[in-house]
Structure formats: C-alpha cells, structure tokens
C-alpha cells in the first residue's frame, strides 16, 4: 500500500462511517448539542430481520469528543452469540479485522450498506431482544454499555447529524 494511502485510510473510513440509531451511552441520554469532551453512544438500534432475511443488524452513532482517537475493539451482548463489525468495501461486505478507529472530535455513524454490526446466533426469545445492553469494548480497556432501541426492518432509522436535533429517516 502506498504511504499516502496508509495515512489517508483512517480518515477516509471515519468520514465514510454514516449510520443511524437511538439510545445513549452508559451515562444516560446523550446531549446532542453540547456533548462535551467524552466518548458517548448517541444512538443504538437493532433492526429485526425482514421477510426475506434472517439477519439481525445494529447501527450505532458514537461521538468522540476527546482529543485522542478511540479504537472500538468489539461489541458483545447476552442476546447474541456473535457480534461482528462489517463494512462495505467496493460493493463487497467484509468483516472489520482489528479495531475500528474513531478519531478525536469526530463521529462514527453506522448505516445500512456501510459500517454496521451483524448479530448472529440468537440466545434469547425474539421478543426479549433489546432487554440487555450492547457492550462496546475499546482498545484502551474502557467499555460503554448501551441499551438499543429495537425496530422493525421496514422502520425508519434515526437521521442523526451531530449537534442537530434528530429526525426520522433512513
């Protein structure tokens, strides 16, 4: 890989990470207009499979208001046996290997067809999905627990733009 691409890749990934969701980090509701210098999950949604799918997906919006990059190492939950971070790379889905960097003073916004969580091996009854938190684990040993909002496959995800009010929309 060319040296320029090695330097540009984290910024390109960060700018490509758009998505939607509804929840807040472990400290409660996220203040979208004055979030402070913290790492916070502003939204989290689990989308139930549609009629033509058996795939559960989750979407997060994470604001990193700190001065340093945060590295999402993984996500776990007691509701699914496996949670993998996926991204679309030139039209092909691929699992993110290693960590997913969220640069300081930026937002990771997951979205359908982009970066997202794929949940598999359901461990609870379908009506119990969303009862347990998603646990986000970072490379520095910190973690954030967030209770996701559960939405039907046909539902609109939250249209979130950092610092603005949330709007319905995909």
Compute the half-sphere exposure of residue 31: CA atoms within 13 Å on the CB side of its CA.
Answer: 8
Q: Residue 12: count other Cβ atoms within 10 Å of its Cβ.
A: 10
Cα–Cα separations (whole angstroms), residue 94 to 62, 84, 89: 21, 10, 7
- Residues 72-100 have pLDDT tens digits of 999 999 999 999 999 999 999 999 999 99
- Residues 112-147 have pLDDT tens digits of 989 999 999 999 999 999 999 999 999 999 999 999
């Amino acid at each position: 890989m060319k040296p320029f691409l090695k330097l540009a890749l984290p910024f390109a990934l960060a700018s490509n990470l758009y998505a939607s969701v509804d929840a807040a980090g472990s400290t409660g509701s996220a203040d979208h207009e004055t979030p402070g210098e913290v790492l916070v999950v502003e939204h989290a949604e689990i989308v139930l499979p549609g009629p033509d799918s058996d795939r559960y997906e989750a979407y997060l919006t994470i604001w990193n208001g700190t001065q340093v990059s945060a590295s999402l190492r993984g996500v776990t939950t007691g509701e699914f046996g496996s949670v993998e971070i996926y991204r679309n790379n030139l039209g092909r889905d691929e699992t993110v290997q290693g960590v997913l960097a969220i640069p300081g003073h930026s937002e990771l916004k997951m979205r359908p067809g982009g970066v997202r969580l794929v949940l598999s091996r359901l461990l609870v009854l379908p009506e119990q999905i969303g009862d347990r938190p998603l646990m986000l684990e970072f490379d520095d040993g910190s973690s954030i627990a967030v209770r996701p909002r559960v939405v039907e496959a046909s539902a609109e995800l939250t249209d979130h733009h950092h610092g603005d009010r949330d709007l319905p929309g995909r």
